[in-house]
A and B are shown apart, each in its own frame.
Chain A
Amino acid sequence: MENSPLTGWHGTLLHVDLAAGTSRVEPIPRDLLLGYLGGRGLGVRLLRGAHTLDPFHADMPLIFAVGPLCGTPAPTAARLNVVSRSPLTGTVYDCSAGGRFAHRLKAAGFDALRIVGRSPRPAAISVTPEGGEILPAGSLWGKSVGETVRALEGRGSVAAIGPAGENGVLFASILMGEGNAVGRGGLGAVMGGKNLKAIAVNGSRSTGIADRARFERARQDVMRLFRASPVIFGELGISEYGTPALVDLMRQRRMAPTENFRKTVFEGSGSYSGPSIRKAYGSKKDGCHGCPIQCKKSDREGAHLPEYETVSHFGALNGIDDLGSIVRSNRLCNELGMDTISAAATLAAWGEGRGRFPAADEVEGLLADMAFLRGEGGLLAQGSRRVAQALGKPGLSMSVKSLELPAYDPRGAYGMALAYCTSNRGGCHLRAYPISHEILRKPVATDRFSFSGKARIIKIAEDTNAAVDSLVACKFSFFGATLEEYAEMLAAVTGEEFGPQSLKEIGERICLTERFYNCANGFDAKDDRLPERFFREPGSSGEGIEIPPIDEKRFDEELRKYYRIRGLTPEGTFSDPGYLSRLP
């Protein structure tokens, strides 16, 4: 039935023009929904045509997109993706975040919210089933994320930027009212550049499910797989300890980035391990709306506790073993609206450059300086690549495409090394997420010290995760479930048949679209590079585990394989300039 109505989607987006002060509802063509699903895929597709604009250009869209599973009881599906072009990396950028905001945007009756233009004065947007309303937000400008969220509480769920986003910090984040971050890539600065302080969404529309019995069967299958997964519901897993459950594991595997990646073991990491945080703060389960895993942790007062990446980077990467300082740094970043990974990694690069890493009691002051561009903060606000360049030591930026690497040393997982480079948004662990099989043994284990087969594995995983980001579901679900069960839920919701293979084909289309945009902005193989340190210096070997430098020849060989598998030229570009025009 070519034109039968699709359940799962509303089929509409809300377009808001901040310069004109107008908004309108637009239909989304059926072939875009079926071809890109929602979330990341739909957002990336909607960016087409604007993808070569400067990230701070007034016409650069900032897109919030939910997926067809959002609003259903599909586990971990109350998520959205924010898509634009990153001022930090210059690449197309999307960020997945959970929380009530996604759920409410869907309930307002929209699959996406597209914002363009620059408001003449500080503004906020209120989205309801009636459409968009632009509100003056002069009184909120300069306020922290928490204050902003509280001020708009009556209007529904809120996403807001802090002072960092207002001031154009290149790694400024967008925070959801419940504490979920659109963390990486500086999309908060794009929002600030539009003079947009906050968005509030409200509504109560439901999402249809075409076949409830089929949906419920698939949902039960997913829950059974979650319970069978030690990483998810095991007594040492993320449901119990949150992602800091990884602290002890990365220490044991000798791949915890330490002192700006000079070492890979930090003797003080035990002070911020999952069990240590639980002991010190009485961690309670917390998390995204409707998620059964509840991997976020909060303290006795309900304040959010940091994630693995954050504790490890404010900890080991800066040589700090003071849990109190780490927890305060995390809170401050969330109030100021800054990505914790890039903030901590920029401090570490700067610390190595000047010969001294910041002390535990200096970090908060430096973070505030960054957000308000005070003193050295003005430089630090530009991220590690620009800091290292300014110091005359470009090699000290531990980043790929200017995105600071998270807390998995690539010398300890070769698939991760490759995936950092092939990622379309720069040095990110979540695009192909090889940590899943190289370290956590899910769905099966691969040899972390081998490149064999990794190019193909990374390609398949990138496609898979692009589909996951477009459903939108949480990556952590796939420590237990597979695309098979999620495809079954999607089919039950939409009434259209999907399977892992068709989802991976959609994922491939999304990945190649992103790569095409990047190539249009001048990116090619020269940018798919790890910092030299990883090819020259060993990590911290010991306890029977050898962490040598990465074999550069073997790495290059596998990267070339990746280009061949992707159908790209040896330069990592497209031989067909008309590639996009043949896609839906």
Chain B
Amino acid sequence: MRDQIARYAGKLLADRSALPGHIAFAAHDDVLLSEGHPKLARLCEGVLSSLSCLGLAAARPSLPFADFLVRRAGKEASRIVPQDTETRTFLHDIPFLRRDELGNDAPARIADLLGSRKGMIAEGLGIVAAGAVTVEQAYIHYSSIFHAAFVKYLLDVLSEGFRLPGEREAFEEFRRSWLRPLDAEGLAFRGAPLEAPEEILKEIAAVGRYTVERGLVDSFFGNISLRAGGTIYISQTAASLDDLAGRIDPVPMDNSSTTGITASSELLAHRRIYEESCGRAILHGHPKFAVAMSMVCEEKGCSVTDCWRDCDKVRWLGDTPVVAGEIGAGGLARRVPPVIAGPRKAMVYGHGVFTLGLDGFADAFRAMVDVENGCRREYFRRLSPKLAG
């Protein structure tokens, strides 16, 4: 159990989603144990002791966006409703407790909320997330809430500007020092021909790791595949991009075996992309600026209300097509393949980016970096009047 805690505390540091020194976990084996920042660790123990869950994470996020969202929310609000697919699909919305609601018995109040939810924001304390089955699950829920708050804050600032004292300064500090340039410099990619299964598995694991190490995406959401002959080698469902060794399924293109029932939920999308293009490698992740910008839609007089599911337009962000469609069997697999073959990249509304490599991952990786960099540039270009104002 302690090794699990060390591992996921390490991931929160590596992906820079939590403030160093302000991370704690608790886990419930036959006894309750906790590690990390003493006050947060006590909080974790207090919360977990009244929950029938295995793990709990509490950490102060490295950015103040979650707290800003709580303070920007209306007086009556008890939750924020981010529009990205991770939230929409898995979290639904994110409940919060304000500083004055936490009162003197924060553990009890938080446990009460987590009795029916996967994670929450405690103003002034941080993000608290539960894992029913594993410590990893608590980490995943923390990471999703961090992602959702990040994307929502970008969009809220873009549409509503800054409202609170200190917000603008914090945002400028985020842009200056938290954001780091994204590039593919110095990464080694194997070129064609990649045919030997051993080579393929190694390359997929390496490239998956690059996407996380370079800060392009968070570790848990996303998938990656390579086609060789009649086989698609694809990352498994619920596998982390930076930990794919032993978690890649070889799936025959002709569905003659169902071993790939454990493959990524986007297997169908990957297969159709291969069928409709001459690509050999596919990368999919949720880079945050791309997720945010995919939802900036300027259509006027549109009658669609469920944009994620029902929008059948192809919009363009620069030279990248943007389509809608929910995860898995929910429509993304129908709308991405027709638009990706030419530009070899595509964005999905509120969700993320798919890129296609012609003979390996080098061009797919660069394309994803370019899409996210392009979205960052476009975001700040649109925000500049507000930053100046």
Q: Tell me the A residues contacting B by CB distance below 8 Å.
A: 221, 224-231, 233-238, 241, 244-249, 251-252, 273-275, 437, 439-446, 452-453, 455-457, 460-461, 463-464, 482-485, 487, 498-502, 504-505, 508, 561, 564-565
Contact = CB atoms under 8 A, between A and B. Distances in A.
Contact of B257 (A225, A229, A275, A499): A275
A230 B264 contact: yes
A564 B28 CA distance: 12
Interface string B253-265: 0011111111111
A455 B258 contact: no
A565 B54 CA distance: 12
Max chain B C-beta neighbours (<10 A), residue from A228, A245, A248, A483: A228
Interface string B125-146: 0000001111011001000000
B344 interface: no
B267 to A, nearest CB: 6
B134 A446 contact: yes
B330 A224 contact: yes
B54 A453 contact: yes
A454 B327 CA distance: 30
9 contacts: A225-B89, A234-B267, A236-B251, A247-B258, A248-B259, A275-B258, A439-B262, A456-B54, A485-B92
B117 interface: yes
Interface stretch (B60-68, B233-241, B286-294, B365-373): B233-241
B29 interface: yes
B116 interface: yes
B52 interface: yes
A445 B131 CA distance: 12
B140 A228 contact: no
Contact of B237 (A442, A453, A504): A442
Contact of A236 (B116, B136, B263): B263
B53 interface: yes
Contacts of A225: 89-90
Contacts of A452: 1
B88 interface: yes
Contact of A237 (B53, B133, B256, B261): B261
Contacts of B1: 452-453
A230 B265 contact: yes
Nearest to A500: B116
A455 B236 CA distance: 26
Nearest to B247: A445
A455 B28 CA distance: 10
B326 interface: yes
Interface of B: 1, 4, 27-30, 51-54, 88-90, 92, 114-118, 131-134, 136-137, 140, 236-239, 247, 251, 255-265, 267-268, 271, 326-330
A394 B298 CA distance: 74
B52 A234 contact: no
B30 A444 contact: no
Given A249-B262, A460-B53, A499-B115, A444 B140 contact: yes
A96 B347 CA distance: 43
B264 A446 contact: no
Nearest to B272: A235
B258 A460 contact: no
A561 B134 contact: no
A234 B265 CA distance: 7
A564 B256 CA distance: 46
A234 B329 contact: yes
Contact of A444 (B238, B256, B263): B238
A443 B55 CA distance: 14
Given A500-B115, A501-B116, A441 B262 contact: yes
Contacts of B92: 221, 484-485
A75 to B, nearest CB: 14
A453 B134 contact: yes
A498 B117 CA distance: 11
Contacts of A505: 52
Given A444-B137, A501-B115, A505-B52, A236 B238 contact: no
Nearest to B137: A444
B328 A463 contact: no
Contacts of A221: 92
A456 B329 contact: no
Given A234-B268, A484-B117, A500-B115, A456 B263 contact: no
A79 to B, nearest CB: 23
B127 to A, nearest CB: 17
A119 B259 CA distance: 50
Contacts of A226: 329
A456 B54 CA distance: 7
Contact of B236 (A245, A274, A441): A441
